[in-house]
Amino acid sequence: GPTHDDITSKSIAKSFNKKYSIHPKAFKILEDYYPKGEFNESRQKMAMLPENAELILNPLTVAPGFKIENVYALPGVPDIMKEMFKSLLFNLKKGKPKKICTINTNLYESIIASKLVEIQNNNSDCSIGSYPYFNYIEKTGGVNIVISSWKRENLLGIRNEIISMISLLGGKSSVV
* pLDDT over 80 at 91, yes or no: no
Task: For residue range 106-152, list pLDDT tens digits in order.
Answer: 999 999 999 999 999 999 999 999 999 999 999 999 999 999 999 99
The residues near 153 (Cβ < 8 Å, ≥ 6 apart) are 99
pTM of the model: 0.57
Q: Residue 133: which of 102, 167, 168 has the closest Cα?
A: 102
